[in-house]
C-alpha cells in the first residue's frame, strides 16, 4: 500500500488515480477531510486524518495499514509565510519532512518520493535543464529555498538510512483541480476565462504576460502518471528526476489551442516575451520508467475546457 501525503490535493489526486490504475492500494494523509469528493477516484482509497508535523499521529497510521511506499507531496515549507514566527515555522516545515522519513524508516519502506520544483534551477540560461546541472545555493523565493534544503537532507538521509529517497523536480503543472490560478503562469487562467466566456484576470502574476512567454507546462494527468511510474519502477538509477513535458510551451500555443475549441475566446495577449523558453530534460525518467507525455497542448486544452464546462469549478 502506497501512502500519499497531500493525496486529495491537485497533483496528489492525479498521482493517486495513476497509482490505482496501476493496481496499487493507497492511503491518503490529510489534515482536514477524511472523505474524498464523490467521483474523485475510480477505486476505493483509505483516508487518514493526520498532520505530518505530528510524528506520533503519522506513525499510528502504520499500525492500521501495511505501508510499502511513500509519495510525499504535501508542502514541507512554511507556506504561506508567517512573519511573526519565522523560526518556528521553519522548524515545523522541515520537521514534517523528517517525520515522513522517520516513518519510512520505522515501517521498513524501501522508496520515498518527495516533491521538489523546477524553481531549484533558478535563473540559468540553458534551454534544457538537466538533473545533473549545478544548482545555486541562493534563491529568490521561499518555495525553491526549502526544496533545495529538502533535496540536500534527502541525499544525506538516503545515505544514512539506506532508504531510496527520490526527488521529483516538478515543472508547471496545470489541468483539472488546479488551485492557484495565475499565481505563477498564465495558462490556467486563460483556459478558465475561455470556459466561462470572460476576459482573463492575470493580475496575480508577478509580471505582465506576453504571447511568447514560454514554460515547460506538464498536464496534471501526465505528471501524476510520471510520479506513479517513479514510485513503482523496479529499479531507479538516480535520486533526482525531472517531472515535466520535456518541451517549452508558449502562451501563444495555449491561445491557439483554446481558439480551436472556443473561437471567440477573449484570451489574446500582447506580442513579446520576457521568459526564456527553457524546459526540463526528461531523458532520465524516460530511460528508467518508459514515461512519455500523453497530452500535447491541443489535447490538454480541449480536455481541460470540457472539464470546466461540465460544471467543475477548477
Q: Which of 20-24, 43-47, 303-307 has the lowest mean pLDDT?
A: 43-47
Q: Where does the pLDDT of residue 218 fall: very low under 50, low under 70, confident under 90, or very high at 90 and above?
A: very high
pLDDT digits (tens, 9 = 90+) for 252-280: 999 999 999 999 999 999 998 777 788 99
Q: What are the beta bridge partners of residue 250?
A: 214
pTM (2 decimals)? 0.95
Stretch 33-45: mean pLDDT, rounded? 85
**At 49, is the pLDDT very low, low, confident or very high (cuts 50, 70, 90)?**
very high
Q: How far, in Å, are 6, 142, 171, 240 from residue 117 at the CA level?
A: 16, 12, 6, 11
For residues 116 and 166, what is the distance between their CA atoms, to the nearest angstrom?
Answer: 10
- Annotated domain spans of the chain: 2-172+218-243, 176-217+247-277+295-309
Q: Work out the number of other CB atoms within 10 angstroms of the CB of residue 307.
A: 16
CATH of domain 176-217+247-277+295-309: 3.90.25
**Band of pLDDT at residue 31, cut at 50, 70 and 90:** confident
pLDDT at 124: 63
Q: Which of 216, 228, 227, 238 is nearest to 288 (CA)?
A: 238
Residue 241 C-alpha cell reads as: 528526476
Q: Using one digit for the tens of pLDDT, what is the confidence trace for 60-109? A: 999 999 999 999 999 887 877 788 889 999 999 999 999 999 999 999 99
Q: Which CATH class is domain 2-172+218-243?
A: alpha beta
What's the rounded Cα separation, in Å, for the pair 116 and 144?
8
Burial 259-276 (b: 16+ CB within 10 A, else e): eebbeebebebeeebebe
Give the span between the Cα atoms of 158 and 220, in whole angstroms. Answer: 28
Query: Does pLDDT of 125 surpass 70?
Result: no
Amino acid at each position: 500500500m502506497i501512502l500519499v501525503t497531500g493525496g486529495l490535493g491537485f497533483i496528489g489526486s492525479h498521482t493517486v488515480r495513476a497509482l490505482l490504475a496501476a493496481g496499487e492500494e493507497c492511503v491518503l494523509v490529510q489534515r482536514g477531510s477524511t472523505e474524498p469528493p464523490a467521483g474523485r477516484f475510480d477505486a476505493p482509497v483509505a483516508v487518514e486524518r493526520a498532520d505530518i508535523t505530528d510524528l506520533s499521529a503519522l506513525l499510528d497510521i502504520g499500525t492500521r495499514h501495511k505501508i510499502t511506499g511513500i509519495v510525499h507531496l504535501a508542502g514541507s515549507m512554511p507556506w504561506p509565510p508567517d512573519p511573526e514566527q519565522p523560526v518556528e515555522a521553519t522548524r515545523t516545515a522541515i520537521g514534517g519532512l523528517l517525520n515522513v522519513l522517520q516513518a519510512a524508516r520505522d515501517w521498513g519502506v524501501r522508496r520515498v518520493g518527495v516533491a521538489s520544483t523546477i524553481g531549484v534551477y533558478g535563473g540559468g540560461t540553458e534551454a534544457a535543464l538537466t538533473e545533473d546541472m549545478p544548482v545555486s545555493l541562493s534563491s529568490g523565493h521561499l518555495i525553491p529555498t526549502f526544496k533545495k534544503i529538502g533535496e540536500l537532507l534527502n541525499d544525506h538521509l538516503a545515505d544514512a538510512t539506506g532508504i531510496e529517497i527520490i526527488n521529483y523536480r516538478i515543472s508547471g503543472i496545470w489541468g483539472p483541480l488546479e488551485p492557484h490560478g495565475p499565481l505563477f503562469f498564465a495558462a490556467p487562467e486563460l483556459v478558465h476565462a475561455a470556459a466561462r466566456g470572460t476576459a482573463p484576470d492575470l493580475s496575480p502574476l508577478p509580471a505582465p504576460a506576453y504571447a511568447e512567454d514560454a514554460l515547460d507546462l506538464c498536464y496534471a494527468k501526465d505528471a501524476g502518471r510520471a510520479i506513479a511510474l517513479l514510485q513503482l519502477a523496479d529499479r531507479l538509477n538516480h535520486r533526482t528526476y525531472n517531472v515535466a513535458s520535456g518541451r517549452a510551451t508558449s502562451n501563444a500555443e495555449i491561445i491557439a489551442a483554446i481558439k480551436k475549441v472556443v473561437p471567440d475566446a477573449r484570451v489574446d495577449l500582447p506580442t513579446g516575451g520576457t521568459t526564456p523558453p527553457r524546459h526540463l530534460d526528461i531523458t532520465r525518467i524516460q530511460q528508467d520508467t518508459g514515461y512519455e507525455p500523453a497530452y500535447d497542448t491541443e489535447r490538454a486544452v480541449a480536455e481541460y475546457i470540457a472539464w470546466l464546462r461540465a460544471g467543475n469549478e477548477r
